[in-house]
Chain A
Amino acid sequence: MWRLLITAEPLNTFTPHQPWALSTKVALRDESFGALAYHYGNRRLVFLKSRDLVDLVRDLEHHDTAAEAIVATVGLERFDAYVQALDSLVESEVIYER
């Protein structure tokens, strides 16, 4: 129940035109397919299925907006796909709005 309430919070939607960053509560471990992320707060394990996504997530904090980070790291052609990917990382609290 609690979890459903949290997901319904507007705060937890991904807004590409805001600044984002990897949560300080998350450890990222590189793996052959990408990385594993573990959130020490909610104790969830999340799979980042591509190296590009891992690089992007790490790079978020260096850009004024997430959109800018996407363009810089993976390029405009794959913009939508990576907005979607980041969106799913918001729900599991891997990234947060700075």
Chain B
Amino acid sequence: MSVKPMALTDRFKQGLGAPICLTWELTYACNLACVHCLSSSGVRDPRELSTGEAMALIDEMAAMQIFYVNIGGGEPMIRSDFFDIIDHCVASGVGVKFSTNGTRLTLDKAKRLAANPMVDVQISLDGADAATNDAVRGEGSWAASIAAMDNLVEAGFGEFKISVVMTRHNIPQIDQLHSLAEHYGAQLRLTRFRPSGRGADSWEALHPTQAQQRELYAWLLEHPMVLTGDSFFHLSALGNSLEGLNLCGAGRVVCLIDPIGDVYACPFVIHDEFLAGNIRDEGSFKTIWQSSELFTSLREPTSAGACASCGSYDACQGGCMAAKFFTGLPLDGPDPECVFGHGERELASQVVTIRPAARSDHSKRTPLAVRS
């Protein structure tokens, strides 16, 4: 008799009554324009869910016994009903973990958040210094994140999270990022950079090199308390498995509800191919989660394809579906960042890489600079 999670991965493939990791993006509006934004956010979508619709959705989450919801955007704090939304989540027993760029996190708001033990805050920060961070997140964004963190500390929030998307430029700063988190009494959370949203355009320039991936893997093994949201399981092919479920959870344990009520298999696949339905059309999120055609098919056993002959398939499972899809690789083959270089070879062998274009782009019409 054991209650260890690993043996259960097969169960996920059959689908759970409700997602474990549900992300809800409240708005596509954002005052920043990060070059790697997974949701290509910028401008508010006029079809955004109203306050009433948001509240009804929370009631449904509570009825489905969703333990917590990851709130993001865009910048969620831009919505004028932001606190009404999180208060209603908490009152309904749905825990809140929300990600913010920190620009709206004043001391007053930090105090309001601190008063609520069921709310978890993640401040996005993509470098250990202003230059590295601002190259990706925009001028002044470092200062805004730091100010927000200072406010959380002053408000006595307790342990919050610093959320970092790992790129070519901040992997060398990983120890500094770790110290920064320690300095703030915060937990460090590292996520994989994926070629989703505007990340498709900046991927080439920003994704880690093979050598950096190995460094990161070794570092993660040495720092098991650092959170990764199961993001780097493709690195498990290098040896010992990293902490986590180590599988692509899209449509199985993971899903996204976007600001207009569209339900996608994962926050990193905002594309028609992975759109399971809209909560307005279907009348309920539960119906989509439990019986949409897309999610049912994602729960089927997947074929290993070109990865079948790889001895590390059990650990790596061919990597991330989003990373493959948006680099134009077949879904049943190696990840573009396959640690054995199979993805790179595959990409190199394609004479013309046809990448799927995004349908949902809410970027502001200003040119974005990518530092290479």
In the complex, which of the residues B8, B17, B67 contacts A27, with contact meaning CB atoms closer than 8 Å? Answer: B67
Contact across chains for B3 and A43 when beta carbons are under 8 A apart: no
Most buried by A among B1, B18, B120, B225: B1
Contact across chains for B8 and A30 when beta carbons are under 8 A apart: no
Q: Which of B1-54 contact A (CB under 8 A)?
A: 1-5, 7-8, 11, 14, 16-18, 20
A26 to B67: give the CA distance in the assembly, Å.
Answer: 10
Residue A8 at the B interface, CB < 8 A?
Answer: no
Contact across chains for B17 and A29 when beta carbons are under 8 A apart: yes
Contact across chains for B67 and A82 when beta carbons are under 8 A apart: no
Contact across chains for B11 and A27 when beta carbons are under 8 A apart: no
The number of chain A residues with a CB under 8 A from chain B is 25
A32 to B65: give the CA distance in the assembly, Å.
Answer: 15
A47 to B11: give the CA distance in the assembly, Å.
Answer: 11
A98 to B2: give the CA distance in the assembly, Å.
Answer: 24
In the complex, which of the residues B4, B8, B65 contacts A33, with contact meaning CB atoms closer than 8 Å? Answer: B8
Q: Is the interface of A mostly helix, strand, loop or mixed?
A: mixed
A20 to B3: give the CA distance in the assembly, Å.
Answer: 18
CB distance from B222 to the nearest CB of A (A): 14
Contact across chains for B11 and A29 when beta carbons are under 8 A apart: no
Contact across chains for A36 and B20 when beta carbons are under 8 A apart: yes
Contact across chains for B3 and A47 when beta carbons are under 8 A apart: yes
CB distance from A63 to the nearest CB of B (A): 19
Contact across chains for B3 and A53 when beta carbons are under 8 A apart: yes
Contact across chains for B65 and A29 when beta carbons are under 8 A apart: yes
Supposing A31-B17, A40-B95, A40-B118 touch, asked if A47 and B5 sit within 8 A by C-beta, the answer is yes
A49 to B14: give the CA distance in the assembly, Å.
Answer: 15
A88 to B118: give the CA distance in the assembly, Å.
Answer: 25
A49 to B11: give the CA distance in the assembly, Å.
Answer: 10
Q: Which of A64-91 contact B (CB under 8 A)?
A: 78, 81-82, 84-85, 88-89
In the complex, which of the residues A30, A40, A85, A88 contacts B17, with contact meaning CB atoms closer than 8 Å? Answer: A30
Residue B68 at the A interface, CB < 8 A?
Answer: yes
A47 to B3: give the CA distance in the assembly, Å.
Answer: 6
Residue B93 at the A interface, CB < 8 A?
Answer: yes
Supposing A29-B17, A31-B16, A40-B95 touch, asked if A84 and B67 sit within 8 A by C-beta, the answer is no
Residue A48 at the B interface, CB < 8 A?
Answer: yes
Binary contact track A31-61/B, C-beta < 8 Å → 1, others 0: 1110010101001011111100100000000
Contact across chains for B8 and A82 when beta carbons are under 8 A apart: no
Contact across chains for B67 and A45 when beta carbons are under 8 A apart: yes
Residues of A close to B95: CB separation below 8 A: 38, 40, 43
Contact across chains for B65 and A88 when beta carbons are under 8 A apart: no
In the complex, which of the residues B2, B7, B11, B18 contacts A88, with contact meaning CB atoms closer than 8 Å? Answer: B2
Residue of A nearest to B10 (CB): A33
Binary contact track B323-344/A, C-beta < 8 Å → 1, others 0: 0000000000000000000000
- 24 A/B residue pairs, CB under 8 Å, sorted by A: A3-B225, A27-B67, A29-B17, A29-B18, A29-B67, A30-B17, A31-B11, A32-B11, A36-B16, A36-B20, A38-B68, A38-B95, A40-B67, A43-B120, A45-B5, A47-B3, A47-B8, A48-B3, A49-B8, A53-B3, A84-B1, A85-B1, A88-B3, A88-B4
- Listed in ascending order, the chain B residues whose CB lies under 8 Å from chain A are 1-5, 7-8, 11, 14, 16-18, 20, 65, 67-68, 93, 95, 118, 120, 225
**3 A-B pairs with least C-beta separation:** A38-B67, A81-B1, A29-B65
- Listed in ascending order, the chain A residues whose CB lies under 8 Å from chain B are 3, 27, 29-33, 36, 38, 40, 43, 45-50, 53, 78, 81-82, 84-85, 88-89
